[in-house]
Chain A
Amino acid sequence: DADVTQTPRNRITKTGKRIMLECSQTKGHDRMYWYRQDPGLGLRLIYYSFDVKDINKGEISDGYSVSRQAQAKFSLSLESAIPNQTALYFCATSDLISLERLTDTQYFGPGTRLTVL
């Protein structure tokens, strides 16, 4: 079973609709992230959370919001989707208590391909 799961895997929606992308992890990691990937660009950080009570904006948070419902769950919402939010979205986790925490090695979900028409 996958350690980091994302739902849905693919979604087509219309401009103005509210969309929620969900991420769950069984790795027991404290840190969770949402990225978007566009062709020719690197992974760009949208939001991140270091524990259940912690939410931080990333590089491109405008138009997005998040909710950290539990250590294992981190949801990304697009309140009113627009076409330039069409992208591949990744959730990732990293660990605060292993040796790797000092280096922030991240573990990625399978991605959600979102198309906004």
Chain B
Amino acid sequence: ILNVEQSPQSLHVQEGDSTNFTCSFPSSNFYALHWYRWETAKSPEALFVMTLNGDEKKKGRISATLNTKEGYSYLYIKGSQPEDSATYLCAFSRNTGGFKTIFGAGTRLFVKA
């Protein structure tokens, strides 16, 4: 059984704080690592996908890094805003037979104005 672990489970920050979360995944048979943003009462939406060790992606104040050798990815939010409040899901895709993508439980971020 493959596990994708995300930490922390939830996080409360003040507006303007910078924050980061961790996604841990099996380092073998790596194919891709995805981050999704899931706002309450909406559908999860893709933020980033990374495929190579050392990849870094950025979208506005949000960025992500990838270490496939040790099996982790970080998501960073600089200067958090209330509209960043959401659950951030990590998903690991493997390159062996059978279904490929496994989701973590997510980190729930609350940003207080």
Binding site for B on A (CB under 8 A): 4, 35, 40-45, 48, 56, 58-59, 90, 100, 102-111
Contacts and interface: CB of A to CB of B under 8 A. Distances in A.
Contact of A43 (B45, B49, B103): B103
Nearest to A2: B43
A52 B105 CA distance: 30
B105 A45 contact: no
Q: How large is the interface on B (under 10, 10 to 19, 20 to 34, 35 or more residues)?
A: 20 to 34
A108 B49 contact: no
5 contacts: A42-B4, A59-B99, A102-B32, A104-B31, A106-B34
Contacts of A56: 99
Contact of B49 (A59, A103, A111): A103
B43 A105 contact: no
Interface of B: 4, 9, 31-32, 34, 42-46, 49, 51, 89, 91, 93, 99-106
B43 A108 contact: yes
Contacts of B44: 43, 90, 106, 108
A46 B9 CA distance: 24
B101 A106 contact: yes
A42 B46 contact: no
A103 B31 contact: yes
B104 A107 contact: no
Given A40-B105, A41-B105, A42-B4, A104 B32 contact: yes
A105 B49 contact: yes
Contact of A42 (B43, B51, B89, B100): B89
Nearest to A107: B46
Contact of A105 (B46, B103, B105): B46
A103 B34 contact: yes
A65 to B, nearest CB: 17
A94 B83 CA distance: 27
Given A42-B104, A103-B51, A108 B45 contact: yes
Contacts of B31: 103-104
Contacts of B99: 45, 48, 56, 58-59
A40 B106 CA distance: 8
